[in-house]
Amino acid sequence: MHELKKFIRYFKPYQWQVLTGVFFILLSMLFGLLIPYLVGNAVDALGGGEITWRKVVLYPLAILTVSAVSGIFLFWQRRLLINASRHIEYDMRRDFYAALVNQPLDFFQNNRVGDLMARATNDLGAVRQIVGPMILYSCQAIFALAIVLPIMLNISVKLTLLLLIPMPLVSLTVKYLGGQIYVRSEKIQEFFASITARAQENLNGVRVVRAYAQEDAEIEKFQQLNREYASRNLKLVKFSAAMRPLLSFFIGLGFVIIVAVGVPMAVNGEISAGDFTAFILYLQRMIWYLIALGYVVNLYQRGMASLKRFNAILEVVPTIRNEPQAAEQTPIKGKIEFRNLDFSYDAHPVLRGINLVIEAGKTVALVGKTGSGKSTLVSLVPRLLDAPENSVLIDDKPIRSFPLAQLRSAIGFVPQETFLFSDSLASNIAFGIPDYNGNSGNSNGNLVPEKSVAALPETVKSNGNRVITVEKAAAVASLADDIRNFPYQYEQLVGERGITLSGGQKQRTAIARAVMRNPRILILDDSLSAVDTYTEETILHNLRDVREGRTTLIVSHRVSTIRDADLICVLDDGQIIERGTHDELVERGGEYADLYQKQLLEEEIEATD
């Protein structure tokens, strides 16, 4: 019941559409169930009296007319209910997607993408069956029983009561097989998620699979999963396939009883031939609708198993969300403060005692060994990870006092792992600008020739804010020359996860994406690791102008990337062990100086090779 209560809220926007569809079911049933009555009257009229052309024409015409009217209402009931089911499916998929994109990073670490995709496709499809076909057939069966039983009792109480003999067997069949279908459906849906997850991982990791020549091994593993999935479905089929024949048999048993008892009654004159004919036709209708109830039970059990998995995601409350006290603040200027910051992953300390103030418009670099906490620290600023309360402040205000939308719209973030969408380069660069209408080329789709970064238009209006143009952002990221060599230039499709681009091109596209937002805070998390030294110098030169007036956080292992920062912080084991300018840290002769000397030596060795 808990699952259904949450599900019913999706009916509210379409309640009149559903109610009208149910009303049309009633009308269709009323006209449809007139047919046995007319047939019975025709049998009595034509069999026991004078046959006239009027009778021969009138009864068939009446039956055809009633059938046509019933068919019209049948069309509208299906159209209304099936349309409503599709709209409800749309709303559920929308809510499911919204629930996913609002979840923090740790949610996706604990839930496989393949499993989530299975819930969004296979499970939602099964839930939709509850809305459309199940309501349709359930109402038909209920209305049929409510209308037909009184009619059959009126024709013959004796024959109607004889129908009750096989009914307990029908109820036991539905109860037992329905329960088995529910249990097995839930397990099958969970196993389907495993197959989807396996396929998704292999497709995303196709380069690794090929590089290690594991194609045959992965195919065999997938076949094993596929065979198990087929086996589980075949076991389910045994129960779902058995339901209809068993119901048909037990209901047919009642049909045999009626014929065995009813025929002598008709011969003896206890019931007219027309009434017996009508009774048989009503019984046939009853049999069909009772069998349909078995199909409804099947749909219900499958749908409820899927609805349970669907609701399980919607019930997950995002750990990172707008706080009750969050309200729109004055525009963010960019001052960042970490105050007595401690942060842990699953009770494992990652950052300890971080105290750092970054004034608006300043550039601060973070260096240190792998695992020292650099990426974790910068991820706390856009609340990709949530720091303890009052330990991170923006413009002297606790970060949680800002709505997430306002906070993140003021930040341009380039993570370590670059992700590009299967879209054009221009769309990937302008990803953070939903209503951007800038022109990334001339009418033929060719890039407008550029003379220099300074010669390009600086900004355009988008969503009420000034944003940097696509061309300007690409030029700042030293990507414009590469784009000019692509066949479709800014409209070039980059493929799934940017597979058609090199590692350096993907990183530069991500930098252009962050720069284009014209953010107050720019975060570059080891974002130049895949580019060569010359390109790095070009990008850093271009970024000097972009960084002017905005707060910049740079994480890097290369001293060349950060040497002109206003402040450099060296992290080790989650603590800041050194801080100062490049010259100050080199002169101090500590950890940073050792790193600088090692990189100078590496550059000298490379230069002599």
Where does the pLDDT of residue 305 fall: very low under 50, low under 70, confident under 90, or very high at 90 and above? confident
CA distance 111 to 309: 13
Helix axes 167-204, 273-314, angle to 10 degrees: 40
574 or 434, greater pLDDT: 574
Where does the pLDDT of residue 442 fall: very low under 50, low under 70, confident under 90, or very high at 90 and above? very low
What is the reported pLDDT for 211? 66
DSSP code of residue 130:
I
Q: Which of 186-190, 517-521, 523-527, 568-572 has the lowest mean pLDDT?
A: 186-190
What is the reported pLDDT for 175? 67
For residue 480, is pLDDT > 70? Answer: yes
Helix axes 34-48, 15-32, angle to 10 degrees: 10
For residue 171, is pLDDT > 70? Answer: no
For residue 245, is pLDDT > 70? Answer: yes
CA distance 307 to 46: 55
For residue 591, is pLDDT > 70? Answer: yes
Left (φ > 0), alpha (ψ -120 to 50) or beta: where does 417 sit?
beta
CA distance 127 to 302: 8
Q: Which of 264-278, 348-362, 441-455, 502-516 has the lowest mean pLDDT?
A: 441-455
For residue 428, is pLDDT > 50? Answer: yes
Find out whether 493 and 424 touch, Cβ atoms under 8 Å: yes
What is the reported pLDDT for 157? 81
CA distance 140 to 450: 70
Listing DSSP states for 541-604 in one string gives: HHHHHHHTTSEEEEE-S-HHHHTT-SEEEEEETTEEEEEE-HHHHHHHTSHHHHHHHHHHHHHH
What is the reported pLDDT for 195? 76
343 or 2, greater pLDDT: 343
CA angle 594, 595, 599 (to 5 degrees): 115
CA distances from 512 to 148, 157, 229, 273, 416 (A): 71, 82, 45, 86, 15
Q: Encode pLDDT of 70-118 as tens digits.
A: 889 888 888 888 888 888 888 888 888 888 887 877 777 777 777 777 7
What is the reported pLDDT for 448? 35
CA distance 468 to 489: 19
For residue 348, is pLDDT > 50? Answer: yes
Find out whether 543 and 531 touch, Cβ atoms under 8 Å: no
379 or 43, greater pLDDT: 379
Contacts for 324 with CB less than 8 Å, ≥ 6 apart: none
Per-residue pLDDT, averaged over 579-599, amounts to 84
Listing DSSP states for 132-178 in one string gives: IIIHHHHHHHHHHHHHHHHHHHHH-HHHHHHTTTTHHHHHHHHHHHH
What is the reported pLDDT for 603? 64
User: β-strands 551-555, 521-525: how paired?
Assistant: parallel
Find out whether 124 and 92 touch, Cβ atoms under 8 Å: yes
Find out whether 306 and 127 touch, Cβ atoms under 8 Å: yes
CA distance 150 to 157: 9
Q: Encode pLDDT of 336-345 as tens digits.
A: 999 898 888 8
| Nearest CA among 447, 180, 147, 430 for reference residue 298 | 180
Per-residue pLDDT, averaged over 287-309, amounts to 75
Most confident range, picked from 69-78, 111-120, 189-198, 211-220: 69-78
What is the reported pLDDT for 447? 34
What is the reported pLDDT for 484? 84
For residue 490, is pLDDT > 70? Answer: yes
Where does the pLDDT of residue 440 fall: very low under 50, low under 70, confident under 90, or very high at 90 and above? very low
Q: Which of 7-16, 54-63, 207-216, 372-381 has the lowest mean pLDDT?
A: 207-216
What is the reported pLDDT for 558? 78
CA distances from 236 to 137, 183, 299 (A): 22, 9, 13
Establish how many alpha carbons lie within 13 A of residue 319's alpha carbon, considering only the half-sphere containing its beta carbon: 11
Q: Please report the domains of the chain, with CATH numbers, ordered by start residue.
A: 2-314 (1.20.1560.10), 322-410+519-609 (3.40.50.300), 420-514 (3.40.50.300)
pTM to 2 decimal places: 0.69
* Residue 245: both structure tokens together: 């024949």
For residue 144, is pLDDT > 60? Answer: yes
Find out whether 377 and 351 touch, Cβ atoms under 8 Å: yes
Most confident range, picked from 71-75, 132-136, 328-332: 71-75
Q: Encode pLDDT of 448-473 as tens digits.
A: 333 333 344 455 555 455 667 888 88
| Class of residue 53 by CB neighbours under 10 A (exposed 0-12, middle 13-18, buried 19+) | exposed
Q: Percentage of the chain with pLDDT > 90?
A: 0
What is the reported pLDDT for 178? 66
Where does the pLDDT of residue 169 fall: very low under 50, low under 70, confident under 90, or very high at 90 and above? confident
Contacts for 196 with CB less than 8 Å, ≥ 6 apart: 114, 115, 117, 118, 122
Q: Encode pLDDT of 541-558 as tens digits.
A: 787 777 777 888 888 887
Q: Which helix (H) or strand (E) holds 352?
A: strand 348-358
Exposure string for 304-343, b = 16+ CB within 10 A, e = fewer: bbbbbbbbebeeeeeebebeeebeeeeebbbbbbbeebeb
CA distance 302 to 184: 9
